[in-house]
Structure 1
Amino acid sequence: MDKDLLPKRSFAQKYHVRGIGGTILFFFLLWGSAVMTGVNWGDFFTNLDQFFDLLSRMAHPAWDYTNIVIQPIIETIQMALIGTTIGTLIAIPFSVLAARNLVKNPIVRGIIRFILNLVRTLPDLLLAALFVAVVGIGSTAGVWTLAVFSFGMISKLFYETIETIDDGPLEALRAAGANNVQVVVFAVIPQVLNSFVSYFLYTFEINVRASTVLGYLGAGGIGVYLQRSLSSFRYDQTAVIVIAILLVVIVIDAVSNKLRERLQ
Protein backbone atom coordinates (compact mmCIF):
# COMPACT_ATOMS: atom_id res chain seq x y z
CA MET A 1 0.00 0.00 0.00
CA ASP A 2 1.27 3.44 -0.88
CA LYS A 3 2.27 5.35 2.26
CA ASP A 4 1.04 8.59 0.69
CA LEU A 5 -2.51 7.22 0.69
CA LEU A 6 -2.53 6.59 4.45
CA PRO A 7 -4.47 9.18 6.48
CA LYS A 8 -2.24 11.54 8.40
CA ARG A 9 -2.96 12.92 11.82
CA SER A 10 -3.62 16.63 11.89
CA PHE A 11 -1.52 19.12 13.81
CA ALA A 12 -4.20 19.41 16.49
CA GLN A 13 -4.46 15.62 16.90
CA LYS A 14 -0.72 15.21 17.36
CA TYR A 15 -0.46 17.92 19.97
CA HIS A 16 -3.62 16.71 21.69
CA VAL A 17 -1.93 13.36 22.31
CA ARG A 18 1.22 15.10 23.52
CA GLY A 19 -0.83 17.30 25.83
CA ILE A 20 -2.52 14.29 27.43
CA GLY A 21 0.83 12.54 27.86
CA GLY A 22 2.41 15.66 29.35
CA THR A 23 -0.48 16.09 31.79
CA ILE A 24 -0.21 12.47 32.95
CA LEU A 25 3.55 12.84 33.39
CA PHE A 26 3.09 16.06 35.38
CA PHE A 27 0.64 14.51 37.85
CA PHE A 28 2.84 11.42 38.16
CA LEU A 29 5.84 13.59 39.06
CA LEU A 30 3.66 15.58 41.47
CA TRP A 31 2.49 12.43 43.21
CA GLY A 32 6.01 10.99 43.34
CA SER A 33 7.40 14.21 44.81
CA ALA A 34 4.68 14.25 47.48
CA VAL A 35 5.44 10.64 48.44
CA MET A 36 9.21 11.16 48.63
CA THR A 37 8.93 14.39 50.66
CA GLY A 38 6.33 12.96 53.02
CA VAL A 39 3.63 15.54 52.25
CA ASN A 40 0.41 14.79 54.10
CA TRP A 41 -2.43 16.43 52.19
CA GLY A 42 -4.89 15.60 54.94
CA ASP A 43 -3.16 17.83 57.50
CA PHE A 44 -4.08 20.91 55.54
CA PHE A 45 -7.79 20.16 55.57
CA THR A 46 -7.71 18.88 59.16
CA ASN A 47 -6.25 22.17 60.45
CA LEU A 48 -8.13 24.39 58.03
CA ASP A 49 -10.21 25.79 60.90
CA GLN A 50 -7.05 27.39 62.33
CA PHE A 51 -6.61 29.30 59.10
CA PHE A 52 -10.12 30.73 59.32
CA ASP A 53 -9.59 31.50 63.01
CA LEU A 54 -6.51 33.54 62.10
CA LEU A 55 -8.47 35.40 59.42
CA SER A 56 -11.23 36.19 61.89
CA ARG A 57 -8.68 37.72 64.28
CA MET A 58 -7.30 39.84 61.45
CA ALA A 59 -10.77 40.93 60.36
CA HIS A 60 -10.71 43.84 62.80
CA PRO A 61 -7.54 45.84 62.02
CA ALA A 62 -6.14 48.21 64.63
CA TRP A 63 -6.40 51.37 62.53
CA ASP A 64 -4.69 53.43 65.22
CA TYR A 65 -1.54 51.45 64.37
CA THR A 66 -1.45 53.08 60.91
CA ASN A 67 0.63 56.07 62.06
CA ILE A 68 3.31 53.71 63.34
CA VAL A 69 3.40 51.75 60.07
CA ILE A 70 3.87 54.71 57.70
CA GLN A 71 7.53 55.39 58.46
CA PRO A 72 8.65 51.69 58.19
CA ILE A 73 6.78 51.42 54.89
CA ILE A 74 8.65 54.45 53.53
CA GLU A 75 11.91 52.95 54.80
CA THR A 76 11.09 49.68 53.01
CA ILE A 77 10.55 51.51 49.70
CA GLN A 78 13.78 53.45 50.16
CA MET A 79 15.70 50.26 50.92
CA ALA A 80 14.35 48.61 47.77
CA LEU A 81 15.13 51.65 45.61
CA ILE A 82 18.70 52.08 46.84
CA GLY A 83 19.46 48.36 46.77
CA THR A 84 18.06 47.93 43.27
CA THR A 85 20.00 50.94 41.97
CA ILE A 86 23.31 49.79 43.43
CA GLY A 87 22.82 46.26 42.14
CA THR A 88 21.91 47.53 38.66
CA LEU A 89 24.95 49.81 38.38
CA ILE A 90 27.26 46.93 39.30
CA ALA A 91 25.40 44.52 37.02
CA ILE A 92 25.84 46.57 33.82
CA PRO A 93 29.60 46.00 33.31
CA PHE A 94 29.33 42.36 34.39
CA SER A 95 26.50 41.74 31.92
CA VAL A 96 28.59 43.25 29.11
CA LEU A 97 31.51 40.96 29.97
CA ALA A 98 29.19 37.92 30.12
CA ALA A 99 27.56 38.52 26.72
CA ARG A 100 28.68 36.06 24.05
CA ASN A 101 28.44 38.54 21.17
CA LEU A 102 30.60 41.16 22.92
CA VAL A 103 33.28 39.08 24.67
CA LYS A 104 34.74 36.41 22.40
CA ASN A 105 37.18 35.03 24.98
CA PRO A 106 35.43 31.98 26.51
CA ILE A 107 37.68 31.99 29.59
CA VAL A 108 36.81 35.56 30.59
CA ARG A 109 33.16 34.98 29.81
CA GLY A 110 33.14 31.71 31.76
CA ILE A 111 34.70 33.32 34.86
CA ILE A 112 32.16 36.15 34.83
CA ARG A 113 29.23 33.76 34.43
CA PHE A 114 30.58 31.56 37.23
CA ILE A 115 30.62 34.59 39.54
CA LEU A 116 27.06 35.48 38.55
CA ASN A 117 25.90 31.90 39.13
CA LEU A 118 27.59 31.91 42.54
CA VAL A 119 25.83 35.13 43.54
CA ARG A 120 22.44 33.82 42.42
CA THR A 121 23.02 30.63 44.41
CA LEU A 122 22.99 32.54 47.71
CA PRO A 123 19.41 32.99 48.99
CA ASP A 124 18.39 36.47 50.11
CA LEU A 125 17.74 35.30 53.69
CA LEU A 126 21.30 33.99 53.94
CA LEU A 127 22.62 37.27 52.55
CA ALA A 128 20.53 39.18 55.12
CA ALA A 129 21.96 37.08 57.96
CA LEU A 130 25.51 37.71 56.71
CA PHE A 131 25.08 41.46 56.36
CA VAL A 132 23.33 41.75 59.73
CA ALA A 133 26.38 40.04 61.25
CA VAL A 134 28.73 42.41 59.38
CA VAL A 135 27.02 45.83 59.65
CA GLY A 136 24.54 45.14 62.45
CA ILE A 137 20.77 45.29 62.68
CA GLY A 138 19.13 48.00 60.60
CA SER A 139 18.28 49.14 57.10
CA THR A 140 21.93 49.16 55.97
CA ALA A 141 22.00 45.36 56.07
CA GLY A 142 18.77 45.29 54.08
CA VAL A 143 20.12 47.64 51.42
CA TRP A 144 23.24 45.57 50.82
CA THR A 145 21.23 42.36 50.81
CA LEU A 146 18.91 43.71 48.12
CA ALA A 147 21.87 45.11 46.18
CA VAL A 148 23.58 41.72 45.95
CA PHE A 149 20.28 39.98 45.15
CA SER A 150 19.50 42.56 42.43
CA PHE A 151 23.01 42.25 41.01
CA GLY A 152 22.70 38.51 40.54
CA MET A 153 19.27 38.60 38.94
CA ILE A 154 19.67 41.70 36.77
CA SER A 155 23.06 40.59 35.43
CA LYS A 156 21.55 37.44 33.96
CA LEU A 157 18.59 39.30 32.46
CA PHE A 158 20.87 41.98 31.03
CA TYR A 159 23.42 39.74 29.32
CA GLU A 160 20.70 37.53 27.87
CA THR A 161 19.09 40.65 26.40
CA ILE A 162 22.42 41.86 24.99
CA GLU A 163 22.91 38.52 23.23
CA THR A 164 19.64 38.98 21.31
CA ILE A 165 20.44 42.40 19.80
CA ASP A 166 21.10 43.06 16.13
CA ASP A 167 24.81 42.58 15.38
CA GLY A 168 24.70 44.88 12.36
CA PRO A 169 25.41 48.14 14.24
CA LEU A 170 28.19 46.42 16.19
CA GLU A 171 29.94 45.24 13.04
CA ALA A 172 29.52 48.63 11.38
CA LEU A 173 31.15 50.48 14.27
CA ARG A 174 33.98 47.96 14.51
CA ALA A 175 34.60 48.29 10.78
CA ALA A 176 34.78 52.07 11.24
CA GLY A 177 37.49 51.64 13.89
CA ALA A 178 35.45 52.09 17.06
CA ASN A 179 36.83 50.60 20.27
CA ASN A 180 34.90 48.30 22.59
CA VAL A 181 33.64 51.11 24.83
CA GLN A 182 32.29 53.04 21.84
CA VAL A 183 30.60 49.92 20.51
CA VAL A 184 28.83 49.39 23.83
CA VAL A 185 27.79 53.05 24.18
CA PHE A 186 26.61 53.68 20.62
CA ALA A 187 25.49 50.23 19.40
CA VAL A 188 24.50 48.16 22.43
CA ILE A 189 22.89 50.56 24.91
CA PRO A 190 20.44 52.16 22.42
CA GLN A 191 19.09 48.70 21.55
CA VAL A 192 18.68 47.44 25.11
CA LEU A 193 17.85 50.60 27.06
CA ASN A 194 14.09 50.00 27.16
CA SER A 195 14.55 46.40 28.27
CA PHE A 196 17.05 47.46 30.93
CA VAL A 197 14.63 49.99 32.42
CA SER A 198 11.84 47.40 32.35
CA TYR A 199 14.01 44.86 34.19
CA PHE A 200 15.01 47.52 36.73
CA LEU A 201 11.36 48.26 37.52
CA TYR A 202 10.54 44.55 37.72
CA THR A 203 13.40 43.94 40.16
CA PHE A 204 12.34 46.96 42.22
CA GLU A 205 8.85 45.45 42.61
CA ILE A 206 10.36 42.15 43.76
CA ASN A 207 12.66 43.89 46.24
CA VAL A 208 9.80 45.80 47.85
CA ARG A 209 8.10 42.51 48.65
CA ALA A 210 11.37 40.77 49.60
CA SER A 211 12.37 43.53 52.01
CA THR A 212 9.30 42.78 54.14
CA VAL A 213 10.67 39.29 54.78
CA LEU A 214 14.21 40.50 55.47
CA GLY A 215 12.97 42.36 58.52
CA TYR A 216 12.57 39.02 60.30
CA LEU A 217 16.35 38.86 60.45
CA GLY A 218 16.74 42.46 61.59
CA ALA A 219 17.46 43.93 58.15
CA GLY A 220 15.15 46.90 58.69
CA GLY A 221 11.93 47.97 57.05
CA ILE A 222 8.34 47.00 57.74
CA GLY A 223 9.34 43.36 58.25
CA VAL A 224 10.60 44.16 61.75
CA TYR A 225 7.14 45.37 62.77
CA LEU A 226 5.50 42.41 61.04
CA GLN A 227 7.65 40.04 63.05
CA ARG A 228 6.84 41.85 66.28
CA SER A 229 3.09 41.79 65.71
CA LEU A 230 3.08 38.08 64.90
CA SER A 231 5.30 37.22 67.87
CA SER A 232 3.01 39.10 70.25
CA PHE A 233 -0.13 37.61 68.64
CA ARG A 234 -1.40 41.10 67.76
CA TYR A 235 -3.11 40.00 64.57
CA ASP A 236 -5.08 43.25 64.43
CA GLN A 237 -1.76 45.06 63.93
CA THR A 238 -0.64 42.40 61.46
CA ALA A 239 -3.74 43.14 59.39
CA VAL A 240 -2.81 46.82 59.17
CA ILE A 241 0.73 45.94 58.05
CA VAL A 242 -0.53 43.50 55.41
CA ILE A 243 -2.98 46.09 54.05
CA ALA A 244 -0.23 48.72 53.92
CA ILE A 245 2.11 46.38 52.04
CA LEU A 246 -0.69 45.45 49.64
CA LEU A 247 -1.42 49.11 48.84
CA VAL A 248 2.26 49.85 48.25
CA VAL A 249 2.65 46.86 45.93
CA ILE A 250 -0.48 47.85 43.96
CA VAL A 251 0.74 51.44 43.53
CA ILE A 252 4.25 50.38 42.49
CA ASP A 253 2.85 47.83 40.06
CA ALA A 254 0.55 50.43 38.47
CA VAL A 255 3.34 53.00 38.14
CA SER A 256 5.72 50.39 36.69
CA ASN A 257 3.16 49.27 34.12
CA LYS A 258 2.60 52.88 33.03
CA LEU A 259 6.33 53.47 32.65
CA ARG A 260 6.74 50.25 30.65
CA GLU A 261 3.91 51.28 28.33
CA ARG A 262 5.56 54.66 27.72
CA LEU A 263 8.91 53.01 27.00
CA GLN A 264 7.34 50.72 24.43
Structure 2
Amino acid sequence: MTAPVQQNYDTYLKRKMSLKTSFTFVLLIVLIVWSFIYTGFNVGDLMVGLPQIGDLFAQMIPPDMSYLSQITQPMLDTIRMAIVSTVLGSIVSIPVALLCASNIVQKKWINIPARFILNIVRTIPDLLLAAIFVAVFGIGQIPGILALFILTICIIGKLLYESLETIDPGPMEAMTAVGANKVKWIVYGVVPQAISSFASYVLYAFEVNIRASAVLGLVGAGGIGLFYDQTLGLFQYPKTATIILFTLVIVVIIDYVSTKVREQLA
Protein backbone atom coordinates (compact mmCIF):
# COMPACT_ATOMS: atom_id res chain seq x y z
CA MET A 1 0.00 0.00 0.00
CA THR A 2 1.50 3.34 -1.07
CA ALA A 3 2.03 6.21 1.38
CA PRO A 4 -0.83 8.45 0.10
CA VAL A 5 -3.27 5.54 0.15
CA GLN A 6 -2.14 4.55 3.65
CA GLN A 7 -2.55 8.14 4.83
CA ASN A 8 -6.07 8.35 3.39
CA TYR A 9 -6.96 5.04 5.00
CA ASP A 10 -5.67 6.20 8.39
CA THR A 11 -7.69 9.42 8.05
CA TYR A 12 -10.80 7.41 7.21
CA LEU A 13 -10.31 5.18 10.26
CA LYS A 14 -9.82 8.18 12.56
CA ARG A 15 -12.95 9.84 11.19
CA LYS A 16 -14.93 6.64 11.60
CA MET A 17 -13.76 6.23 15.20
CA SER A 18 -14.57 9.89 15.90
CA LEU A 19 -18.11 9.41 14.58
CA LYS A 20 -18.56 6.28 16.71
CA THR A 21 -17.30 8.10 19.80
CA SER A 22 -19.59 11.08 19.17
CA PHE A 23 -22.59 8.84 18.58
CA THR A 24 -21.88 6.86 21.75
CA PHE A 25 -21.53 10.07 23.78
CA VAL A 26 -24.80 11.52 22.46
CA LEU A 27 -26.59 8.21 23.06
CA LEU A 28 -25.29 8.13 26.64
CA ILE A 29 -26.49 11.68 27.30
CA VAL A 30 -29.93 10.87 25.88
CA LEU A 31 -30.13 7.74 28.06
CA ILE A 32 -29.20 9.71 31.20
CA VAL A 33 -31.74 12.48 30.48
CA TRP A 34 -34.45 9.92 29.66
CA SER A 35 -33.74 8.07 32.92
CA PHE A 36 -34.01 11.23 35.01
CA ILE A 37 -37.26 12.28 33.34
CA TYR A 38 -39.10 8.94 33.51
CA THR A 39 -38.01 7.99 37.04
CA GLY A 40 -39.55 11.21 38.34
CA PHE A 41 -36.33 12.17 40.11
CA ASN A 42 -36.73 15.57 41.70
CA VAL A 43 -34.04 17.39 43.70
CA GLY A 44 -36.75 19.35 45.52
CA ASP A 45 -38.37 16.16 46.83
CA LEU A 46 -34.95 14.90 47.87
CA MET A 47 -34.25 18.07 49.85
CA VAL A 48 -37.65 17.83 51.56
CA GLY A 49 -36.88 14.28 52.65
CA LEU A 50 -33.41 14.99 54.05
CA PRO A 51 -34.67 16.43 57.38
CA GLN A 52 -36.75 13.28 57.85
CA ILE A 53 -33.62 11.18 57.49
CA GLY A 54 -32.00 13.34 60.13
CA ASP A 55 -35.00 12.82 62.44
CA LEU A 56 -34.78 9.05 61.94
CA PHE A 57 -31.10 8.98 62.90
CA ALA A 58 -31.83 11.22 65.88
CA GLN A 59 -34.36 8.65 67.13
CA MET A 60 -31.70 5.94 66.89
CA ILE A 61 -29.45 7.71 69.38
CA PRO A 62 -28.44 6.35 71.78
CA PRO A 63 -28.45 2.70 70.65
CA ASP A 64 -30.06 0.21 73.00
CA MET A 65 -26.97 -1.83 73.92
CA SER A 66 -29.01 -4.11 76.20
CA TYR A 67 -30.46 -5.56 72.97
CA LEU A 68 -27.10 -7.16 72.13
CA SER A 69 -27.90 -10.25 74.16
CA GLN A 70 -30.96 -10.92 71.97
CA ILE A 71 -29.22 -10.50 68.61
CA THR A 72 -25.94 -12.32 69.29
CA GLN A 73 -27.39 -15.71 68.36
CA PRO A 74 -29.07 -14.43 65.15
CA MET A 75 -25.77 -12.81 64.15
CA LEU A 76 -23.99 -16.13 64.70
CA ASP A 77 -26.68 -17.76 62.55
CA THR A 78 -25.96 -15.18 59.86
CA ILE A 79 -22.22 -15.97 59.95
CA ARG A 80 -22.90 -19.72 59.87
CA MET A 81 -25.21 -19.30 56.88
CA ALA A 82 -22.46 -17.42 55.06
CA ILE A 83 -19.85 -20.09 55.90
CA VAL A 84 -21.99 -23.05 54.80
CA SER A 85 -23.14 -21.40 51.58
CA THR A 86 -19.62 -20.23 50.72
CA VAL A 87 -18.09 -23.68 51.24
CA LEU A 88 -20.75 -25.54 49.26
CA GLY A 89 -20.94 -22.88 46.54
CA SER A 90 -17.16 -22.72 46.08
CA ILE A 91 -17.00 -26.49 45.58
CA VAL A 92 -19.75 -26.49 42.95
CA SER A 93 -18.29 -23.40 41.24
CA ILE A 94 -15.15 -25.34 40.24
CA PRO A 95 -16.81 -27.63 37.65
CA VAL A 96 -19.00 -24.71 36.55
CA ALA A 97 -15.90 -22.60 35.84
CA LEU A 98 -14.16 -25.47 34.05
CA LEU A 99 -17.18 -25.95 31.78
CA CYS A 100 -17.29 -22.22 30.99
CA ALA A 101 -13.55 -21.83 30.28
CA SER A 102 -13.01 -22.27 26.54
CA ASN A 103 -9.34 -23.23 26.96
CA ILE A 104 -10.18 -26.05 29.36
CA VAL A 105 -13.29 -27.60 27.81
CA GLN A 106 -12.68 -26.87 24.16
CA LYS A 107 -16.20 -27.52 22.93
CA LYS A 108 -18.43 -24.56 22.11
CA TRP A 109 -21.59 -26.61 22.47
CA ILE A 110 -20.63 -26.94 26.15
CA ASN A 111 -19.04 -23.52 26.81
CA ILE A 112 -21.77 -21.36 25.32
CA PRO A 113 -24.77 -23.00 27.12
CA ALA A 114 -22.79 -23.13 30.38
CA ARG A 115 -21.99 -19.41 30.19
CA PHE A 116 -25.53 -18.57 29.14
CA ILE A 117 -27.04 -20.40 32.12
CA LEU A 118 -24.50 -18.81 34.50
CA ASN A 119 -25.28 -15.33 33.18
CA ILE A 120 -29.02 -15.90 33.41
CA VAL A 121 -28.81 -17.05 37.03
CA ARG A 122 -26.51 -14.11 37.88
CA THR A 123 -29.26 -11.68 36.92
CA ILE A 124 -31.60 -12.96 39.66
CA PRO A 125 -31.27 -10.87 42.86
CA ASP A 126 -30.37 -12.82 45.98
CA LEU A 127 -33.41 -11.43 47.81
CA LEU A 128 -35.69 -12.77 45.07
CA LEU A 129 -34.00 -16.16 45.28
CA ALA A 130 -34.47 -16.16 49.03
CA ALA A 131 -38.15 -15.23 48.68
CA ILE A 132 -38.65 -18.10 46.21
CA PHE A 133 -36.97 -20.59 48.54
CA VAL A 134 -39.00 -19.29 51.50
CA ALA A 135 -42.15 -20.02 49.51
CA VAL A 136 -40.88 -23.56 48.85
CA PHE A 137 -39.20 -24.51 52.15
CA GLY A 138 -40.83 -22.11 54.59
CA ILE A 139 -39.28 -19.52 56.90
CA GLY A 140 -35.85 -20.44 58.26
CA GLN A 141 -32.16 -20.61 57.47
CA ILE A 142 -32.40 -23.17 54.65
CA PRO A 143 -33.82 -20.66 52.12
CA GLY A 144 -31.07 -18.20 53.03
CA ILE A 145 -28.35 -20.82 52.65
CA LEU A 146 -29.69 -21.90 49.26
CA ALA A 147 -29.92 -18.30 48.01
CA LEU A 148 -26.34 -17.59 49.12
CA PHE A 149 -25.21 -20.94 47.71
CA ILE A 150 -26.40 -19.92 44.25
CA LEU A 151 -24.94 -16.43 44.70
CA THR A 152 -21.56 -17.98 45.56
CA ILE A 153 -21.60 -20.21 42.48
CA CYS A 154 -22.32 -17.20 40.30
CA ILE A 155 -19.61 -15.03 41.85
CA ILE A 156 -16.80 -17.58 41.96
CA GLY A 157 -17.84 -19.33 38.74
CA LYS A 158 -17.70 -16.06 36.79
CA LEU A 159 -14.41 -14.84 38.27
CA LEU A 160 -12.72 -18.23 38.12
CA TYR A 161 -13.55 -19.07 34.52
CA GLU A 162 -12.30 -15.65 33.41
CA SER A 163 -9.11 -16.27 35.38
CA LEU A 164 -8.70 -19.74 33.87
CA GLU A 165 -8.82 -18.32 30.37
CA THR A 166 -5.76 -16.17 31.09
CA ILE A 167 -3.47 -18.87 32.49
CA ASP A 168 -0.27 -19.90 30.74
CA PRO A 169 -1.07 -22.67 28.21
CA GLY A 170 2.53 -23.92 28.22
CA PRO A 171 2.19 -26.53 31.02
CA MET A 172 -1.01 -27.93 29.47
CA GLU A 173 0.58 -28.18 26.04
CA ALA A 174 3.59 -29.99 27.51
CA MET A 175 1.39 -32.47 29.32
CA THR A 176 -0.68 -33.05 26.20
CA ALA A 177 2.50 -33.77 24.29
CA VAL A 178 3.48 -36.55 26.70
CA GLY A 179 0.00 -38.10 26.58
CA ALA A 180 -1.42 -37.00 29.95
CA ASN A 181 -5.15 -37.55 30.37
CA LYS A 182 -7.62 -34.75 31.08
CA VAL A 183 -7.64 -35.26 34.85
CA LYS A 184 -3.85 -35.01 35.14
CA TRP A 185 -3.92 -32.13 32.67
CA ILE A 186 -6.19 -30.18 35.04
CA VAL A 187 -4.58 -31.27 38.32
CA TYR A 188 -0.97 -30.56 37.34
CA GLY A 189 -1.39 -27.94 34.61
CA VAL A 190 -4.38 -25.83 35.70
CA VAL A 191 -4.69 -26.10 39.48
CA PRO A 192 -1.20 -24.78 40.38
CA GLN A 193 -1.85 -21.64 38.29
CA ALA A 194 -5.39 -21.03 39.56
CA ILE A 195 -5.28 -22.03 43.23
CA SER A 196 -4.28 -18.63 44.64
CA SER A 197 -6.90 -16.81 42.56
CA PHE A 198 -9.54 -19.34 43.59
CA ALA A 199 -8.76 -18.85 47.28
CA SER A 200 -9.00 -15.09 46.84
CA TYR A 201 -12.37 -15.45 45.12
CA VAL A 202 -13.67 -17.68 47.92
CA LEU A 203 -12.76 -15.07 50.52
CA TYR A 204 -14.38 -12.35 48.43
CA ALA A 205 -17.55 -14.43 48.08
CA PHE A 206 -17.58 -14.95 51.85
CA GLU A 207 -17.44 -11.17 52.37
CA VAL A 208 -20.36 -10.70 49.97
CA ASN A 209 -22.34 -13.48 51.65
CA ILE A 210 -21.90 -11.92 55.08
CA ARG A 211 -23.38 -8.66 53.83
CA ALA A 212 -26.14 -10.39 51.87
CA SER A 213 -27.12 -12.77 54.68
CA ALA A 214 -27.59 -9.78 56.99
CA VAL A 215 -30.63 -8.68 54.99
CA LEU A 216 -32.08 -11.98 53.77
CA GLY A 217 -34.10 -12.18 56.97
CA LEU A 218 -36.25 -9.37 55.59
CA VAL A 219 -37.96 -12.01 53.45
CA GLY A 220 -37.94 -14.67 56.16
CA ALA A 221 -34.70 -16.40 55.13
CA GLY A 222 -33.15 -16.46 58.61
CA GLY A 223 -30.33 -14.49 60.16
CA ILE A 224 -30.15 -11.01 61.64
CA GLY A 225 -32.29 -9.47 58.89
CA LEU A 226 -35.48 -10.62 60.59
CA PHE A 227 -34.65 -8.39 63.56
CA TYR A 228 -34.08 -5.43 61.23
CA ASP A 229 -37.61 -5.93 59.98
CA GLN A 230 -39.12 -6.35 63.44
CA THR A 231 -37.47 -3.35 65.08
CA LEU A 232 -38.15 -1.01 62.15
CA GLY A 233 -41.76 -2.17 61.91
CA LEU A 234 -42.29 -1.48 65.63
CA PHE A 235 -40.43 1.86 65.45
CA GLN A 236 -37.83 0.59 67.93
CA TYR A 237 -35.09 2.67 66.35
CA PRO A 238 -32.53 2.43 69.21
CA LYS A 239 -32.63 -1.37 68.81
CA THR A 240 -32.27 -0.98 65.04
CA ALA A 241 -29.20 1.18 65.64
CA THR A 242 -27.72 -1.57 67.81
CA ILE A 243 -28.24 -4.13 65.05
CA ILE A 244 -26.65 -1.80 62.49
CA LEU A 245 -23.60 -1.15 64.70
CA PHE A 246 -23.19 -4.84 65.54
CA THR A 247 -23.44 -5.80 61.86
CA LEU A 248 -21.00 -3.05 60.90
CA VAL A 249 -18.41 -4.25 63.42
CA ILE A 250 -18.68 -7.87 62.26
CA VAL A 251 -18.46 -6.93 58.57
CA VAL A 252 -15.48 -4.62 59.11
CA ILE A 253 -13.59 -7.31 61.05
CA ILE A 254 -14.29 -9.97 58.42
CA ASP A 255 -13.39 -7.60 55.58
CA TYR A 256 -10.10 -6.69 57.28
CA VAL A 257 -9.09 -10.29 57.94
CA SER A 258 -10.15 -11.36 54.44
CA THR A 259 -8.21 -8.50 52.83
CA LYS A 260 -5.04 -9.39 54.74
CA VAL A 261 -5.34 -13.07 53.78
CA ARG A 262 -5.92 -12.18 50.11
CA GLU A 263 -2.88 -9.91 50.19
CA GLN A 264 -0.80 -12.85 51.40
CA LEU A 265 -2.17 -15.03 48.61
CA ALA A 266 -1.50 -12.44 45.89
TM-score, normalised to structure 1, is 0.88
Number of equivalences: 247
Which among 209, 212, 215 is matched to residue 210 of structure 1?
A: 212
What residue identity is the alignment partner of 1:120? R
Counterpart position of 1:93: 95
What residue identity is the alignment partner of 2:113? I
- 1:51 Cα deviation from its structure 2 partner: 0.4
SS in 1 for 2:112: helix
Give matches, 1:127-138, under 5 Å: 127-138=129-140
Q: Report percent identity of matched pairs.
A: 46
CA distance, structure 2, for counterparts of residue 42 and residue 150 of structure 1: 40
CA distance, structure 1, for counterparts of residue 31 and residue 43 of structure 2: 16
What residue identity is the alignment partner of 1:85? V
Give matches, 1:16-27, under 5 Å: none
CA distance, structure 2, for counterparts of residue 50 and residue 27 of structure 1: 32
User: 1:31-79, CA deviations, whole angstroms, 9 ceiling, x for partnerless residues?
Assistant: 3321122212211101211000001011111110011111111110110
CA distance, structure 2, for counterparts of residue 79 and residue 216 of structure 1: 15
- Segments of structure 1 that go 5 or more residues without pairing to the other structure are 4-20
Give matches, 1:227-242, under 5 Å: 227-242=229-244
Counterpart position of 1:122: 124
Detail structure 1 runs of 4+ shifted over 4 Å in the superposition.
Answer: 21-29
Give matches, 1:61-210, under 5 Å: 61-210=63-212
CA distance, structure 2, for counterparts of residue 168 and residue 155 of structure 1: 23
Which among 27, 32, 36 is matched to residue 30 of structure 1?
A: 32
- 1:205 Cα deviation from its structure 2 partner: 0.7
What residue identity is the alignment partner of 1:137? I
What residue identity is the alignment partner of 2:241? A
- 1:23 Cα deviation from its structure 2 partner: 8.9
Counterpart position of 1:225: 227
- 1:26 Cα deviation from its structure 2 partner: 6.2
Cα distance change on mapping 1:23 and 1:67 into 2, 3 Å? farther
- 1:227 Cα deviation from its structure 2 partner: 0.6
CA distance, structure 1, for counterparts of residue 125 and residue 227 of structure 2: 22
Counterpart position of 1:15: none
CA distance, structure 2, for counterparts of residue 38 and residue 86 of structure 1: 43
- Segments of structure 2 that go 5 or more residues without pairing to the other structure are 5-22
User: 1:6-42, CA deviations, whole angstroms, 9 ceiling, x for partnerless residues?
Assistant: xxxxxxxxxxxxxxx9999866643332112221221
CA distance, structure 2, for counterparts of residue 66 and residue 202 of structure 1: 27
SS in 2 for 1:245: helix
- Aligned Cα root-mean-square deviation (Å): 2.0
